[in-house]
Amino acid sequence: MANVTIVLPVYNEEDKLEKNTLKLLEFCKKNIKHPFKIVIADNNSKDRTREIAEKLSKKHKQINYLYINRKGRGIALKTAWKKYKADVNIYMDIDLATDLSALPRLIDEVVKGNNVVVGSRYLRNSKIKRTPFRMLISKVYNLMVRAMFRTRIKDMQCGFKAVDKKTVDDVIPRTKDTQFFFDTELILTAEAMHYKVKEIPVKWKEGKDTKVDFARTITNYIRSSIKLRRRLRRMKL
């Protein structure tokens, strides 16, 4: 049996935290055959996120609360995966935009020997509901990355991924980004190190709200991609 850690990076998520964490917990109890823990990684929230998360962790033994005094998905995952390192290390967005039906396969693909498993919204069997504007931005970004890095991965940014223990030990320390570019950097660094990276199809539905500033985020993605390409070229792998 493989040990599984599922990290939920959160920032000011008091409205959906309890409902969606409990939904995930019940799904795992019914559908995951491996021992698992859920980690709420709190990026210095200013609302009632901490209060709610601590209550959940006291009531349910499979739920853990981790406070991080910095904001950013990257720093949340680096910190939580290092502290709660398991055979299978997962993260998903708290809005549960990715349907949980893909979770058992995400775990199984790591158990089978893949180092990084990526939930993809753009595979043939994927099903996605998204506004045309955000769909266009996402596809343009992914096409840019595929051209720059000659990668076969079609979806860098879906908030539904898993990595094995070796990736946590060897790849994560090489990543620099602490925000949303972390996903792209993780995949491309793992590929550069000749790790096995696999995409699986998912069902995905866009949330009603988002905290992402698209203009600023895309500008950062482009700059970070250029820096990452230079860095990977210098790496002796």
The alpha carbon of residue 155 and the mean position of all alpha carbons in its chain are separated, in whole angstroms, by: 12
On the 0-12 / 13-18 / 19+ scale of CB atoms within 10 A, 162 is: buried
Please tell me the predicted confidence (pLDDT) of residue 237. Answer: 52
Confidence of residue 134 (pLDDT cuts 50, 70, 90): confident
CB 73 within 8 A of CB 179: yes
SS3 for 22?
A: helix
Query: pLDDT, tens digit, for every residue of 1-30?
Result: 899 999 999 999 999 999 999 999 999 999
Please tell me the predicted confidence (pLDDT) of residue 220. Answer: 86
Query: pLDDT, tens digit, for every residue of 154-195?
Result: 999 999 999 999 999 999 999 999 999 999 999 999 999 999
Nearest-angstrom CA–CA distance, 176 and 22 = 32
Backbone conformation region of residue 47, classed left if phi is above 0, alpha if psi is from -120 to 50, else beta: beta
**Residue 214: pLDDT over 80:** no
Backbone torsions φ then ψ of 180, nearest 5 degrees: -80, -20
Which pTM value belongs to this model? 0.94
Query: pLDDT, tens digit, for every residue of 50-105?
Result: 999 999 999 999 999 999 999 999 999 999 999 999 999 999 999 999 999 999 99
Q: Which CATH number fits domain 4-234: 3.20.20.80, 3.90.550.10, 3.30.1510.10, 3.40.50.450?
A: 3.90.550.10
Backbone torsions φ then ψ of 199, nearest 5 degrees: -100, 145
Interhelix angle 182-192/214-234, rounded to 10 degrees, is 20
Nearest-angstrom CA–CA distance, 228 and 144 = 13
Residues in the chain: 237
